[in-house]
Amino acid sequence: MKTHLTVNGKEFDLEAVPNTLLVHALREHLGLTGTHVGCDTAQCGACTVIINGDSVKSCNVLLAQVTNAQITTIEGLAKQDGTMHPMQAAFKECHGLQCGFCTPGMVMSSLDLCKKHPNANEREIRELLEGNLCRCTGYQNIIKAVQHGAATMKS
């Protein structure tokens, strides 16, 4: 099966078996290993990417479902000169990561959260990120990072 899609602004035609998951296509066919495989059951959020403007857990999407889609992975956020996206910088500045395994999915989910809920308070951020698991941080610095990233993106 051949699938055409745009990932991080570049167009690709991928040849893969029909039941290929998007997360595996990104990692194995395109070499974009920033999208992590955590649970393979859409429970942890480590594989979250942006598809046509919405955050989606890519372990729960078949490659065939994203034909002609616009996909952004964690690798597509930084500028060409390496300058981090404001949300990436916020996670770094606020120590919103520890081991880093959940971080790409957290950042991608946080971008969608901020787009849809630009004035979310701490309780709302916690609720909106509940589909993304972190086993290291206790979430407090993640919440601070999302708030800082949201404020930075507004300015």
pLDDT digits (tens, 9 = 90+) for 98-125: 999 999 999 999 999 999 999 999 999 9
Give me the pLDDT at residue 155, please. Answer: 78
d(CA 25, CA 21): 6
Whether residues 67 and 127 fall in one domain: no
Q: Cβ distance 93 to 132 under 8 Å? A: no
Low-confidence stretches of the chain (pLDDT beneath 70): none
Tally of domains within the chain: 2
- Last residue within a domain, chosen from 41, 76, 111: 76
Quote the percentage of the chain above a pLDDT of 70: 100
Per-residue pLDDT tens digits for 36-45: 999 888 999 9
One-letter amino acid at 2 equals: K
Q: Which tokens belong to 6?
A: 């745009």
* Domain of residue 119, residue span: 86-154
The 3-state DSSP class for residue 67 equals coil
Question: Mean pLDDT of all residues in the chain?
Answer: 95
Give me the pLDDT at residue 79, please. Answer: 95
Within a domain: 81: no
Task: Let me know how long the chain is.
Answer: 155
Exposure string over 130-147, b if 16+ CB within 10 A, otherwise e: eebbbeebebebbbbbbb
Give me the pLDDT at residue 137, please. Answer: 81
Q: Phi/psi at 28 (nearest 5 deg)?
A: -90, -35
- Last residue within a domain, chosen from 54, 76, 98: 76
Give me the pLDDT at residue 126, please. Answer: 96
- Last residue within a domain, chosen from 47, 76, 105: 76
d(CA 60, CA 44): 11
